[in-house]
Structure 1
Amino acid sequence: MRTPKVPLEKFEQRRAELGEATLQTLAALGYARTSLREIAQNSAFSHGVLHYYFQDKTDLILCSVRQYKARCVTRYDGIVAQAQDAAGLRQAFLALLGDTLRDEAPLHRLWYDLRAQAMFEAAFRDDVAVIEASLEKMVWNVIARLAALAGATQGLPSPALAYATIDGLFQQALLKHLSGDATAIAALQHDVAALLARLLPGPAAAEPVESR
């Protein structure tokens, strides 16, 4: 990256602001159709400003997605901390899964786009690995708390398996939702509920909730 002409702290702060401000545009365009010039044409910022703070579209996309996922990984902290029983936590988890699929679908699409590009672009791999690890931890925090509340401490899956399974269901539901399938959210909640029932039998195995 070029040596900033402004103090480093302010430079990084401005990068963060620009990354946040252009996130929706990035989510709408996707990786393949994104360039700094294209982002500038679809945002309130000039190409020169974006080019000053970011080396290229890879730099900007990584900055934006890191910030978005940093918020995502705290999404379930509140319900985990407040949970009094397994059934209540499970219901809250399913409801939030539905909410985020419905309300933030373009941003999740951008993440999956970036993760796929990491197969081809070495520049993405370290950041994708860090984000994946944080998402795995996020899911495991829910699973581990559910297990503790339900008294199901034996035979649990690994954190990697739990995350990969739920993430796979979420990605499939996202594609269906983006394709106009009105049942995608309810189906996701039903399938995750069925998965949790197999992993954590007992109080955690109630009927799935509808998306709010």
Structure 2
Amino acid sequence: MTKPAERISRRQVDKFEQRRKQLADAALQTLSELGYARTSLREIAQNSEFSHGVLHYYFRDKVELITYCVRQYKAHCVLRYDGIVADAEDPDALARDFADGLVDTLVGEALLHRLWYDLRSQSLFEESFRADVADIDESLERMIWRIVSRYAELSGNAPTCSSAMAYATFDGLFQQALLRHLAGSAIALDDLRAGARHLLSHVVCA
């Protein structure tokens, strides 16, 4: 049986984590608009309902807040694509839904994806980011591999590349589409949709 003191402690931990999530949600918009270098905890506080002191209480510094925000957002992305895998009944439908999902998230959440690439680039220079970025990258790689593996299974074939290569290929396609979309390209989205379906059909052996 759980002791009363343990129940209270667990409740306090849950409330603390819930508050961190609320603060992260409030911070994401400012972070995604300004990027890592131009954003401070004070800047985030000025653009939200929370004070600078409150942010500092729940997060040690900007690094912890940013990595928490991106980790939370990317975890949401992974769940979205896992739903596509779970619902897939044939390879063509999976390829279509996957490609459409990439386009939808690029259009609707372009600034949040830009923040992720900004953070990943910063990890080349700031060691404090590297462990979190590597962990997020690994979760995204596993997500892509579940897509590829399910497509191969539905096609009755096998993957032609490693998990790392599949992730690098699709991530590169998505990042280039994001750059072109933010630059105003009228065909970036169509190219992303077509490119994703093309790549998926070529990462399994016929």
2:160/2:205 contact within 8 Å kept: no
Q: Which structure's residues are more often helix, by fraction?
A: 2
> Which letter does structure 1 place at the counterpart of 2:161?
P
Aligned-pair Cα RMSD in Å: 1.5
Matching residue within 7, 16, 26 for 1:21: 26
Q: What TM-score comes out, normalization by structure 2 length?
A: 0.90
* Corresponding pairs, count: 196
1:22/1:43 contact within 8 Å kept: yes
Corresponding residue for 2:163?
159
Corresponding residue for 1:114?
119
Q: Distance in 1 between matches of 2:87 and 2:131?
A: 33
The answer to whether structure 1 residue 135 and structure 2 residue 140 are counterparts is yes
1:20/1:67 contact within 8 Å kept: no
> Which letter does structure 1 place at the counterpart of 2:31?
L
Corresponding residue for 2:8?
none
Structure 1 residue runs of 5 or longer lacking an equivalent are 1-5, 203-212
Corresponding residue for 1:178?
182
> Which letter does structure 2 place at the counterpart of 1:149?
L
Structure 2 residue runs of 5 or longer lacking an equivalent are 1-10
2:142/2:163 contact within 8 Å kept: yes
Shift of 1:96: 0.6
Corresponding residue for 1:36?
41
> Which letter does structure 2 place at the counterpart of 1:40?
A
> Which letter does structure 2 place at the counterpart of 1:95?
D
Q: Distance in 1 between matches of 2:198 and 2:98?
A: 13
Q: Distance in 2 between matches of 1:148 and 1:86?
A: 8
Taking the TM superposition and a 5 Å limit, the aligned residue runs for 1:95-110 are 95-110=100-115
Identity fraction in percent: 59
Any idea what the Cα deviations from partners look like across 1:131-163, whole Å, max 9, x if unmatched?
00100010110100000111112x521010000
Moved more, 50-59 or 7-16: 7-16
Taking the TM superposition and a 5 Å limit, the aligned residue runs for 1:38-53 are 38-53=43-58
The answer to whether structure 1 residue 85 and structure 2 residue 100 are counterparts is no
Shift of 1:201: 6.2
SS at match of 1:76: helix
Matching residue within 144, 153, 157 for 2:149: 144
